[in-house]
Amino acid sequence: MYNPNDPKLKSWVSVESTSDFPIQNLPFGVFQKNDKVAVGVAIGSMVLDLSLLWKEGFFSEIFPSQEENIFAHSSLNAFMNCGKEIWQKTRTRISQLLEAGSSELHDHAVKEEALVTLDEVKMLLPIKVGNFVDFYSSIEHATNIGSMFRPDNPLMPNWRHLPVGYNGRASSVIPSGTPIKRPKGQTKADDAENPTFGPSRLFDMELEMGFIIGKGNDLGSSISTKDAPDHVFGMVLLNDWSSRDIQKWEYVPLGPFLGKSFATSISPWVVTLDALEPFLVDGPTQEPAVLPHLQYEGKGNYDIHLEAYLQGEKMEASERITKTNFRLMYWNMQQQLAHQTSNGTNTQAGDLYGSGTVSGTTPDSLGSFLELSWRGTRPLKFPNGEERKFIQDNDTITLKGWCQGEGYRVGFGECSGKVLAAD
C-alpha cells in the first residue's frame, strides 16, 4: 500500500533538504495569483494549483459525482467538510502525482500552469473561521503566570482537572504578513485611583499552535478523545497577540475580552494530522488522573520544534527570542476537543482552536514577553544594544515550527506580523 509518509519518498519537483514542504508534508492553503483565488498545496518552493488538476480530471475517482470544483474556493471549508477519508485519499493522490518517477502529471500539459512559485502568489487566510477558542494548556506557562500574580497559589484549583479555555473573536483572525495596529483600551496603573484610555503599553505575543476542525458534530452531541482526531483537519502556527495592561484591568470576573480580541495571526499553510502522524509522542503524566471523558489511549502530543524571532526597525536581521517544543503541552488536542463538546457544543468546518502559549522549563524557552522579561523586570538584550520588555511599534514578530524527520522536515512555514502604532 502506498504510504505518503514514507521517508524515502522523493518528488520530481526540486525540494531543498531544509524546506518545510517536502513530499511527506503537502500542506493545504489558499493562494491568489492576479485575479485568481484557489486551493493549493505547497511542495518545495512551489504551489500546486489543485483547481486546475480538478478540471483535468485528476481527482475524478475521489469525487465521482461532484460537479462543482471544490478547489476553486476562497477557503478550505468545503473540502474539509468532506471528511477524513476524502482528505486522506486526496493527499495520497497528490503525493502519487508528485512522486519521482511518476509521469502522469510530470508529462501532462497542465503541469506548467499548475505549478507556480511561492514568490508569484499571495497567501490568504486558509479557512473561513466560524468560531475561535483559545486554551491555556501549558503547565509551565500557567505556573509562570500564576507565580507572578499569585505566588502562593500559581495554579488555580481546576487547572489539572480540565483544559481551561475561552471563546475568542473569529472575525479578527488574520493571515501571516498582515500588520497589527497597536490596540487602545482602558488600563489602570497600580497606584492610580481611576483607569485611563489610550494605546496599550504592554503589548505581547503568544507562541501557540492552532488546530482546525474539518468535520463537525451536531448540537447536543459530543466528541470523544478517541474520535477527536477524525474531526481535526490539521494544524497551523498561531500568534495570539495580547495587550497585557488592558487584559489585567478587564480580566476579573469574566476573563479575556478587549485585551485579546483585536488580532490573532495564523500561518497560511495547514499541515494535516496525517502528515504529522510520524511525530506523535507521549505527553506529560497528568496528576491527579483526569475524569473518564478526558482520558485517552496512545500518544497524544506532537514533537514540533517552535521558535520566535523579533526584528526591530533598527535591526539588520531578526533575532531569535525563544525556542521550545509543542510536545510539552499538558493538555492535548483530543482532550481539548472532548472537553469543548462535552456539554453538547456543536463544532463546524473552519473552527479554530489555539493551544495556549507554549512554554518550556528554561529561560530561553518561554512563549511570551510577559515571561521572557518577567513582567518587564528582565529586559531582553539584542546585539545592536536595544532592549525589549514588551513589543514596540514597528517590531516584526515571526513564528516558525517544524517536525524533524529522517532526512526531511515537515514544517509550517512562517507566521509573522508587524506591529504598527495606534491611530
Q: Residue 226: which of 358, 353, 355, 332 has the closest Cα?
A: 332
Catalytic position from the list 73, 106, 108, 141: 141
pLDDT digits (tens, 9 = 90+) for 318-351: 999 999 999 999 999 999 999 999 999 999 999 9
Distance CA(412)–CA(355), nearest Å, equals 15
Q: At residue 153, does pLDDT exceed 90? A: no
Taking all residues of the chain, what is their mean pLDDT, rounded to a whole number? 97
Range 362-382 average pLDDT: 97
**Does the pLDDT of residue 67 top 90, yes or no?**
no
Q: How far apart are the first and last CA of the chain?
A: 58
Ranges of CATH 3.90.850.10 domains, the chain: 132-420
| C-alpha dist (Å) from residue 276 to 177, 219, 233, 273, 404 | 25, 29, 11, 5, 10
Prior bond of 4 cis (ω within 30°): no
Please indicate whether residue 231 is annotated as part of the active site: no
Q: Which alpha helices (H) appear in 25-69, and where do they start and end?
A: 50-55
Chain region(s) in the chain for CATH 2.30.30.230: 28-123
Whether domain 132-420 has CATH 2.60.120.920:
no
Instruction: Output the CATH code of domain 28-123.
Output: 2.30.30.230
Residue for grid cell 488536542: 333
Q: What is the mean pLDDT of residues 6-16?
A: 97
Across the range 171-198, mean pLDDT stands at 97
Query: Which pLDDT score, from 0 to 100, does residue 133 have?
Result: 98
Tell me the C-alpha distance between 229 and 214, whole Å.
10
